[in-house]
Each structure stands twice: as structure tokens, then as C-alpha cells.
A and B are shown apart, each in its own frame.
Chain A
Amino acid sequence: MLAITNAEAVSSIALTIYTSGLTAAVAVIFGIPLGYLLGKYEFRGRSIIDSVIEIPLMIPHTVAGIALITIFGSAELVGALFKGYGLRLTDDVMGIVLTLVFVSATYTVKQVEEAIKSLDPKLELVSRSLGASSTFTFFYVTMPSIWRSVVTGAILTWARASSEVGALFIMAYYPPVASILIWNLYAGYGLHESISNGEVLSPGAVNVAALMILINLGIFVLFKLVQRKRQV
């Protein structure tokens, strides 16, 4: 039986916030150039890249987990390579983030892609005709025009990442993020907290779940406020 404590619940929630945040950051860093590329250019192989990005939305996440572990598992292709340098791509923060990026970064990429498509292509031409380089144009004209979509994509990615279970079960079961802890608590002790001889054996799946709902809601409200404030 799992030895569950309140401290474990707290640390798993903290781990969830941390890894989901890290996932959103990675999604933004890679999603902006990728979304820009897909939104702006037609090129050979575009549909292949598109498919790879959209696959996580279409397959069961346990399948995603299996796919990831067959590539990044310690004994597998890429995983073995990294293992040679002492890096482990399953479990731990690295494994969790890798899994979450795969299953949730799609939202950021797609948001950026759509935002770029909706921009008038002549906007960048105007900027460049005035003497601005493509880099200057990107940071001073394009980014300010799409930042809301980037933030929306990051929120969706964060939300999707913080609720992931299936792929994590296979790729990064330990340390448990909140969604896995809640499952463990429910499977081991049922809905409510379990106390034996005054000792809390389990904080109760329902309690951790309620806490997660509150935290997610809080972060959503915060993001929405930031978005609205910048729109004014």
C-alpha cells in the first residue's frame, strides 16, 4: 500500500504547477517559430509536420505514452543516447515535461499558426519597407499582434498538461503529479481521507481534486485578467 501523506499531496500539486508551467514555457518557445512557419509559408513536408503536431489530439494518451517510451525509454533509440551522457528521459521532471510537451504543446502551435494566418501579410511588408529588418519586424510588429493568441495557447497548454494522466502513467509515473496522485488515492483509499490511530494515511482523492480545481481556476482567472488589462 502506498504511504500517502499530506506533504506528498502538497508536493505533487507543486510538481504539477511547476511541470505544467515549464511545459507551457517550452511550448511557447518552440510553438512561436513553428506556428509562424506553418501560418506563413507553404512548403514541401508541411502536411507531415502538421500531422505530427496534431497526432496527440487524435490518439488515446496511453498510446502517446507507449510511443514516447519506445523512443525515449532508457533502452530505446534516443533514450539510450542520452543515458550515455547520464541523462534520463523517463520519470523525474525531465520525463514529465517531455511527455506533457508532446501531448499539449499542440494547442500553442495551433493558436500561433491561426493568429499568423489571420494577420494581413502586407503588415510585415509595410514594416520592412520602412527599413525594419525581419527580426525587428517580428518583435515590434508581429509579436504585439499575436501575443493574445500566444497567451491563450499557453493557458490551454498549461490546462491540458496539468490534467494529463494516460501518457504519464507510462512515461513518467514517478514522482507523481497531482492527476496521478488523485488516481492512486482513489484506487487505494476511495474518495475520502483515511485516518488510522490519528495518523492521516490518505488526504482523500476528493480533497486533492478540489484543491486542483481551485488552483486551476485561480490561474485561469489570473491569465484572463492579464489579457483583459492589456486589451484596454
Chain B
Amino acid sequence: MNAGIAVENLSNSWANFSLKNINLTVPEGSYFVLLGPTGSGKTLLLEAIAGAYSPTEGRIFVSGEDVSHLPPEKRRISYAPQNYLLFENMTVRKNIEFGLHARGVEEPERKKRSAHLLEMLGISNLVDRFPKNLSGGERQRVSLARALAVEPRAVLLDEPLSAVDAETKSTIMDYLRRVHKQTGVTVIHVTHDRFEAASLADRIGVIREGEIREVGSPLEFSQKAYSKPESIFQSDNLIHGSVIRSEANLALVDVGAGNVIEAITDRTGQVMLHIRPESIVILKHGVDSSARNRLEGTVAEVTDLGATVRVGIAGGTPITAIITRRSFFEMDLNIGSKVYALFKATSVEVL
């Protein structure tokens, strides 16, 4: 596959930070997530690709063209920053059509393209609103539509989900998947959230202290997470397994140690499951429940989170749950208590 974006030997230094010999290839049409903690240099790398500055060393290619010394407006790479930065003096429509207007596209064509994007992102009802009257999720979708309207060679998304609540985050992730599938545009998405990366990416690049440390597929990372506990990808309740049977979207996933987890998916073969700790119920006795999944274990770790308590359960399939403080004390849980972790098939996310 052709390289949508290729970064070769890129280095740049600031007073207290350096990007060091970055080499990165993002296949054309892929969804690449650049994963790293705060201060790792991921946004600086994104800005170099966008053309905010010319790095002291190295080159950047977009669809084979060397854009290292081109100004941002000549690169055809749309940049969507973390805080959206919508143009506050323009309506949603004007925001989306901005790039087309700047490129001299005639109004009928602008309207046609913006209408298509408004519909794709479910924001047609916001067309005449100003950004100050939009919620975080709506702003994010407008920002995305604005970036896509110019039909760029790539879209750079800087922490697009960091400023929205959990529910909106899930909706925006769905839109990101859908938009990527429909447009086929190359995406570089920067985040510090491992789950977000695993959920969206075709490929993930891990950046730390200004260096690309690892690049691979989400599955490769999840496999490493088991053999290499210090991996950045180690996370609560990321469980590796293989689908042994699938019927009407309900799959049985063998997760080892004699345990099988039911999940809603039509996937087959190797999969990575994620169960949010707050979706898990702990019981001391294996009573009947509507939850399809039940894992047995003993309390190995307890962390007080204030109103809630985080309970680490050791067993054939280690799992972590977050329960209310009241439940914790009512069940009189202690280290070593035998417990059952229950969760619904709909709570299992298949990565």
C-alpha cells in the first residue's frame, strides 16, 4: 500500500524538548493513532506534518510529494486541533465551507459539499448556528466536517475526544469510524488514551520523550501486553481470546483458563475484548443474573477511589471492577474473599 504520509529522520529542538529522528509511515487510507502521554511530543509531530514549522532536519512526504518546505495551505492536510478552534464569527455552514471558499470553490458546489457532510455527521439541524451555541460534541463534529470539506490528502486529529463526556465520546468514535470508512481519507489521530487507540486504529505508533518507540496493529499491541506487562498497552480488562462459535451476532470467545466470554460481534478468529471496570458487578455468591458472563476469582487488590472502590480480582482470567463504596462494605469484601464478576454481553467491547 502507498504511503499516505511518510516522515523521514525528522528532528527538531526547542528549549526544553526535542523530537528525535522520527521515522513513520502511514499507509494511504489508514487510520493511524499516535499514542503517547502528555509531553511526549505527539502534538509537535502533528504540527510539523501540518506545516506549523519547518523542522531542522528530516523530510515529510504526502502521497509521495515532499512537502517539507511547503506552507500549510499547499500541503492539503487538514488540521483539527484539540480545542476545535471553530471560527466563532461564522455559522456552522460557513465554518464547514471555509476551506472551499478560500480555495475559490463556487457557492453552489460549496453548499452541495457542506450539505453532504452535515448529513454524514448528523448536524444538518445546526447549519445556521454559531459555534458559541454548540455543545462539545457538536463542535467536534463541525470541526471534523470542516476538515473533510476540502477533500484533503490527510486529516490530523489532535486529541479529538479529550474534551467530551463519556457518552459523547462513544458517539464521536462511531462517527470517526463511519467517516473514515466512507471517505477513505488518511487519518492521523493523536491521543493518550490506549482504549481509544485500540478501538479506532488500523495501526498505532507509540511516542515517548520525542521518539517513536513502537509501531504496530492493535492486535500486535494487545498480544505484547500479555507477554510484556510494562507495555504502554497494558490496561484494565483488555482480554485476549479467540471466537469459538458465533451465532446471530452473539459470539463465544475462549479467553483461556476454561473461561468463555459472550460478546456481541460478528468477528471471528483472534479478538481483543475490553470490559469497562464500571460495567462489572461483583457478587459473593453466584446467584442468577441477567448478565451472561460470570468469572470466578478472589479479591487481590482494593483501591479506595472515594465514592467508588476499585477491586482487582485474581483468577483464571484476572479482571478489575469498580463498584460503589456502599456495595463494597455491604458485601464485607476483604483481600482473599471469593467473588464472582458478572457482566453483560453488551458490556463487552470487541476491539
Query: Which positions in A face B, CB cutoff 8 Å?
Result: 120, 122-123, 125-134, 136, 140-141, 144-145
Contact = CB atoms under 8 A, between A and B. Distances in A.
28 contacts: A120-B81, A120-B83, A123-B85, A125-B50, A125-B51, A125-B72, A126-B79, A126-B80, A126-B81, A126-B85, A127-B102, A128-B51, A129-B50, A129-B73, A129-B75, A129-B77, A129-B78, A129-B79, A130-B102, A131-B76, A131-B99, A132-B98, A132-B99, A134-B71, A140-B87, A140-B101, A140-B102, A144-B87
Give the one of B76, B79, B149 with max A CB within 10 A. B79
A100 B322 CA distance: 69
A131 B47 contact: no
Interface string B59-85: 000000000000111011111110101
A122 B99 contact: no
Interface residues of B, number: 29
Interface on chain A toward B: helix, strand, loop, or mixed SS? Answer: helix
B142 interface: no
- 9 A-B pairs with the lowest CB-CB distances in the bound complex, closest first: A130-B99, A132-B102, A128-B72, A129-B79, A144-B89, A131-B103, A128-B73, A122-B81, A129-B72
A141 B77 contact: no
Contacts of A133: 73, 102
A122 B47 CA distance: 9
Contacts, number: 69
B52 interface: yes
Interface of B: 47, 50-52, 71-73, 75-81, 83, 85, 87-89, 98-99, 101-103, 146-147, 149-150, 156
A138 to B, nearest CB: 12
Contacts of A141: 87
Which of A127, A128, A133, A136 has the largest number of chain B CB atoms within 10 A?
A128
Contacts of B147: 129-130
Nearest to B79: A129
Nearest to B84: A126
B75 A145 contact: no
A122 B89 CA distance: 16
Contacts of B75: 129
Contacts of B83: 120
B290 to A, nearest CB: 47
A136 B102 contact: yes
Contacts of B103: 131
Nearest to A123: B85
Given A127-B98, A132-B98, A122 B73 contact: no
Contacts of A120: 81, 83, 85
Contacts of A125: 47, 50-52, 72, 79, 81
A141 B103 CA distance: 15
B327 to A, nearest CB: 44
A134 to B, nearest CB: 8
Nearest to B81: A122
Contacts of B52: 122, 125
A133 B103 CA distance: 9
A118 to B, nearest CB: 13
Contacts of A131: 73, 76, 99, 102-103, 150
Contacts of A145: 88-89
Contacts of B88: 145
Contacts of B146: 130
Contacts of B85: 120, 122-123, 126
A132 B77 CA distance: 12
Contacts of B47: 125
Contacts of A127: 87, 98, 102
Given A125-B50, A134-B71, A144-B89, 20 more contacts: A120-B81, A122-B79, A123-B85, A126-B79, A128-B51, A128-B72, A128-B73, A129-B72, A129-B75, A129-B79, A130-B78, A130-B102, A131-B76, A131-B150, A132-B98, A132-B99, A132-B102, A140-B102, A144-B87, A145-B88
A23 B273 CA distance: 69
Nearest to A125: B52
A126 B96 CA distance: 12
Nearest to B158: A122
Contacts of B50: 125, 129
Contacts of A130: 73, 78, 98-99, 102, 146-147, 149-150
Nearest to B94: A140
Contacts of B89: 144-145
